Structure 1
Amino acid sequence: MFANRLAAAATIAAATVVFALSALMMWIYASEPRTGHFSAEFHLTDHLGRPADQGLFKGQPSLVYFGYTHCPVACPTTLYEMAGLFERLGDEGKELKGYFFTIDPERDNQEVVNGYVTAFTDRITGFTGEPEEMRKVVDGWRVHAEKVPDGSGGYSMDHTLSLFLVGADGRLKGVLPYGADQDEALDKIRTTLLKS
């Protein structure tokens, strides 16, 4: 009887350890920054009304953010921090581009995106387009973007908060998590995107 209970307890303990290790490995895998070519063909409009496609990622390094203009905290904070990074880099970052892709094209038309990005800096280009085209970009970059009803007929957007670091070759080189220390972010941009 005691041996059966001991065997059952050992089995449960072993299963718990296996489950915990599996969960830990999945968490580590999910939190690792991805690198590579995360793009898709798309046809959008920038905040000045100019056409844009996937070619904009080639030729110069860029900081890429996916957000929306009705975002209460994360998006304006990130764009404010991007503007600060551009200012701190000065001439060192003159080739670095900043891109803001709306994940809410239903509300974020060209005029709205123009007013939004230019309120932060002239170094960030905003993009919008038809919902199908925006979905191509979101899916191609494996960004989470989901409409969340607010109970009063409106909605917010649940979305990826990371800032993507994209090399001049158009490939993802790393990410900066939301709320990253700005000195560390500056160092990462320098070593990842601006190194000679």
Structure 2
Amino acid sequence: MRARLLEATVECLVERGFSGTSTTLVSERAGVSRGAQLHHFPTKNALVVAAVEHLSDVRRDELAAAAAALPTGRRRTRAVLHMLGDHFASPLFVAALELWVAARTDEALMEAVAPLEQRIGRETHRMTVELLGADESQPGVRELVQATLDLVRGLGLADTITDDARRRRRILDQWADTLDAAIAAGAGPETTGAHAPGKDDR
């Protein structure tokens, strides 16, 4: 029952946005009584945050499984970036985006969303470092990894307006070459021009 509620919530967020998602609508879609829904999630905020957290955990496990099949050698970086690009163009990102926008002007929602977003950001950063085999003890490498995540996140945002898959692939192919060259060169700021973003792990 809980899983049905969480899945229905994500579907509503993607299809109707945060403002169009209601606990009544979620209950109807999940085939769950209002009383049962309120027992598990007494407020809309509790429901939507739990739904995005649940799907994030599911997606994290899916990414880990997909990572095991990634190629090694010269094309690995490109494959990693395409996997991340697809992740940030998924319904999960759309649902999370709806929460971020709503939380900007909702203090109570922000208190729940901010820690979740920070945790997911740290996990995604750590996974990306591992997949790329990046050495963050080298100057500039951490910033390059973060720039990579900022890039795929931005491309995911563009995909919410229109299907951007072809352009995304071209951009990520070029960035893979740039990333490989920068890391191979030592990735120092004087070499890559990389700089730290305003906030890490976001």
State TM-score, norm by structure 2. 0.23
State TM-score, norm by structure 1. 0.23
Higher relative contact order at CA 8 Å, sep ≥6: structure 1 or structure 2?
1
Higher strand content, 1 or 2 = 1
